[in-house]
Amino acid sequence: MFNVVLPVKLQTMASRTITNKDYNERINKVIHFIHTHLSEKLDVDRLAAVAAFSPYHFHRIMSAYLNESLISYIIRTKMEVAAGFILHTDMSITDVAYKVGYEMPSSFNKAFKKRFGVNPSAFRDNYDKARDYLKTSKTNKMKKTEMKHEVREVIPRKVIYVASTGPYDGKGTADAWKKVCGFAGQKGLFGPKTEFIGISFDDPHITDSSKLRYEACLTIDKEATAEGEMGVKEIAGGKYVVFLHEGSYENFQASYDYIFGEWLPGNNSQLREEPSFELYLNSPEDTAPENLKTEIWVPID
């Protein structure tokens, strides 16, 4: 064996690369833990333990990554998830408060009003009035006809993914796809049944575009290990109503508005506590925008 000694500068660079990959893996664990435990108490010590960070430095590390304090991120996420429940389910305000970890409805109301400027009941009432107006609008009816859909029940999907934050049609999303596809190519993870899935966690009507969370995912049938920005997880199985979006990705929001603003309130389906996702049936690299086909999967009970 040759005993190769790197110059000091190269040793430092190699060490930094390993450290950055390790930090990204740990931070991914924390973000995932937050979003799957919103109904629980999420304090700094508990979250630091999830990522094996020192509590002393943890808050500063997360704030630098999130571009906001960890506490602000947790509260904002809880409020935005709560807003989704308020708009798209008939769950009581008290039950919504419990869902996002508030035992006292008064504390929840205060935090919600601070985020959105109105209390939860007024938020729901204003949305209902706006939705009723849009339903009777001839212009809206002309823009969006009923979408093809069917109910499917599936097993969980194992995926590798890269997360991004920012506008859904922005550079961050494109970069996430380049990274996840590059990783899959290097590791030989592409197969004949590979599916391309995008998870858009936030509603652009609720969350600022700079803070929209997205994950570019590829299904895999081999073993893979989290590495740096690359995460590994399962997309929940179960029952979904699957809608077909035909045409440009630029029109996704109109489809989501139809699904959650018209179809869901008019049907007896209840949403499960899992994110919706997009399954891309063809690629914009070799398909004209008007010929793109995408399935939007919405989890229901």
Residues 176-194 have pLDDT tens digits of 999 999 999 999 999 999 9
Q: What is the pLDDT of residues 83-125, one digit of tens each?
A: 988 988 888 999 999 999 999 999 999 999 999 999 999 998 8
Residues 27 and 98 in one domain: no
> Which residue is listed with tokens 């590798």?
160
Question: What are the C-alpha distances in Å from 49 to residues 23, 33, 109?
Answer: 14, 11, 30
pLDDT value for 54: 78
Q: Which among 204, 206, 196, 189 is positioned nearest to 78, based on CA atoms? A: 206
Residues 291 and 233 in one domain: yes
Residues 200 and 289 in one domain: yes
Compute the distance between CA of residue 216 and CA of residue 197 in angstroms, rounded to an integer: 6
Residues 63 and 84 in one domain: no
Residues 80 and 60 in one domain: no
Q: What is the pLDDT of residues 24-74, one digit of tens each?
A: 888 888 998 999 999 998 988 899 999 888 777 787 788 888 888 899 999
pLDDT value for 13: 36
Element (H, E) at 152: strand 149-154
2 inside domain: no
38 inside domain: yes
List the single range of 2-6, 43-47, 150-154 with lowest mean pLDDT.
Answer: 2-6
Residues 155 and 131 in one domain: no
pLDDT value for 3: 37
List the domain range (segments joined by +) for residue 180. 149-299
Residues 122 and 251 in one domain: no
3 inside domain: no
- In this model, does residue 132 exceed pLDDT 60? no
pLDDT value for 79: 94
pLDDT value for 289: 92
Element (H, E) at 266: none
Considering the chain, what is the average pLDDT of its residues? 85
| Cα–chain center distance at 191 | 25
Q: Cβ neighbours of residue 221 under 8 Å, at least 6 residues apart?
A: 158, 191, 193
- In this model, does residue 136 exceed pLDDT 90? no
pTM, full prediction: 0.73
Residues 96 and 122 in one domain: yes
DSSP reduced 3-state for 12: helix
What would the mean pLDDT of 212-237 be, rounded to a whole number? 93
What would the mean pLDDT of 118-141 be, rounded to a whole number? 65
Residues 38 and 129 in one domain: no
Domain count, the chain: 3
267 inside domain: yes
292 inside domain: yes
- Of 136, 158, 178, the domain-final residue: 136
Q: Cβ neighbours of residue 33 under 8 Å, at least 6 residues apart?
A: 47, 50
Residues 94 and 173 in one domain: no
H helix runs in the chain, sequence order: 8-36, 44-51, 55-66, 70-88, 93-99, 105-116, 120-136, 138-143, 171-187, 252-258
Q: Which amino acid is at 291?
A: N
pLDDT value for 1: 32
The token pair at 28 is 């991914």
- Give CA angle at 132 (278, 300), nearest 5°: 35
Tally Cβ neighbours within 10 Å of residue 267: 11
Residue predicted with more confidence, 155 or 9? 155
Q: Cβ neighbours of residue 281 under 8 Å, at least 6 residues apart?
A: 293, 294, 295
Residue predicted with more confidence, 239 or 55? 239
Tally Cβ neighbours within 10 Å of residue 102: 20
What would the mean pLDDT of 206-229 be, rounded to a whole number? 92
What would the mean pLDDT of 15-19 be, rounded to a whole number? 43
Domain CATH code at residue 85: 1.10.10.60
pLDDT value for 281: 96
Residues 123 and 258 in one domain: no
Domain CATH code at residue 263: 3.20.80.10
State whether the Cα torsion 122-201-135-240 is positive or negative: negative
Share of the chain above pLDDT 70, in %: 87
Residues 189 and 92 in one domain: no
- In this model, does residue 137 exceed pLDDT 50? no
141 inside domain: no
237 inside domain: yes
Compute the distance between CA of residue 212 and CA of residue 168 in angstroms, rounded to an integer: 7
pLDDT value for 8: 40
144 inside domain: no
